A and B are shown apart, each in its own frame.
Chain A
């Protein structure tokens, strides 16, 4: 055991390591049972510290959390790593992708790792190139990755009724996200459909908004080729081409050819 790395356990548990140290420790952790046990036990102690600070959150938080989960699919449990801690604490990218690819199969670790690498190379996961350094418990959702991307551009619109809508696009992520707040619900039997507009002006379906005022929608399709994002009112099941005039149109900066 490396004593100096081991000594980081306490600071790791209270998130007091800098990024480099955290990376070092998380690389060390899967292979060190002592550290795993110590981290687990110290986390229990740390959780108690929060008891003294309990504070009722605003009711709006409950509403937005419970509305938010409706748009987020829980990731499946890990199915290939029953044997040990490998890939659990230190390799979120692998944990992220393997169950989807290998669900129902028991595969050897080498094969599993190879599959993960192949999947990453194929762009299946949304992890950034620093993915492996991310803490396993703080993985960003695809939506958050777009919102937090350094190159994210934002176009916002406010409407007379006080509602707002914003489009975030990250070229590094190749994705766009639509955020709405307090938007009026669509007419009965209708839905708001979102579109990516390409350089030729063609509108490509990018998803349906949930019938709720606040939405966080990861748009389908290659956002880098989009010159704009539109919202139209469509039948509840959605349309393949817009059947009404857009109620909102967001112009994006130049698209990739």
Chain B
């Protein structure tokens, strides 16, 4: 194979997966270059994703048999508009948080293990978004789960270790359930490729069981109510850069798989009441998560419970897309939620992490007057809040707009009521924190100086959430590229 062949656009998916994995290995074996390996990857990978996106927009979906081995024994990579959007948001978030992490971990022993795991996490996410078959999705899910758990444990506190253990047990159980579904689907249809499964035979008990097992496993991993119990401790106790990525991307990865399988393979077999039931769980998540965020005493816990609530919105996509004429608007709304929540939530977690870094705690009642002390971080938190609430102009607003559109067109008005109620609750928990943060406090509190990279990364990501509100036509065109569904 000549160099020219290796650098063809069709090999881009393989490079996007292997660069972070290589960086992970190098940063582990040669700890002295770990930060630079990470920063290098953080600069190069987004560029490759941009090229991939342009290629998909111009020529449609890209398929690749890695190493020339044919499926099913070889690995089949598939990149369409949705893959490109997910890879893009991953590159933006992990890429920028790498700069935050460089300051956050500087001089910390945890840095030795952070960088390899961080790069493994990125490689796993990229591989997941590019996988074209259900078994590779299992492998990437496991790789993602293991690196995420190890990153949570980096905090080393008792709470973090217990949270990591609980997360690991849930994650492994979820993957096993998913794998059993894979086995059943393979036994029933003799193929692992998502594309071939889409056209596979009639409904049968084994397909129904496979769907139930896969959906249950992925719902556990996405932390949909009532399987959300593991999320708040894990996300609140992890180091700040890790919390940000767990909430922004890792829970979305299993949701992404569920959405692909649901819309491509299982759609004809699912009856509408199942979709409505998932929607009801989403509704419970929105209300329960928001109420818990409203009473949370720590800032990071508030943000983590807000994630539980926002995950509820993601699952509304299933009832909304169950009606053919609103299917398209609904899934675009679902992915818009994924993208805008990813930016907003990572910004919120980074800002909360900066607060802990500087003040040594995040007890909301002791954070009075903090707006004056760290204006940049608090501005980032406020912008993230705007997107979480869904105020225009922000990505969160576009996502809710698409949902409301789908709900009204499809005659499912009850979801509109829920979306509006959810926004009010989000307003309440965001403003509860700000009423404290804006209050006047005369005394000077001793604090650790914050490197500028940390404050500005959070602001950059919050601005991304806002920008998503302005570039909706471009993003929806990208999502449509390569006919994903």
A binds B: no
Q: Which residues of B contact A (CB under 8 A)?
A: none
Q: Which residues of A contact B (CB under 8 A)?
A: none
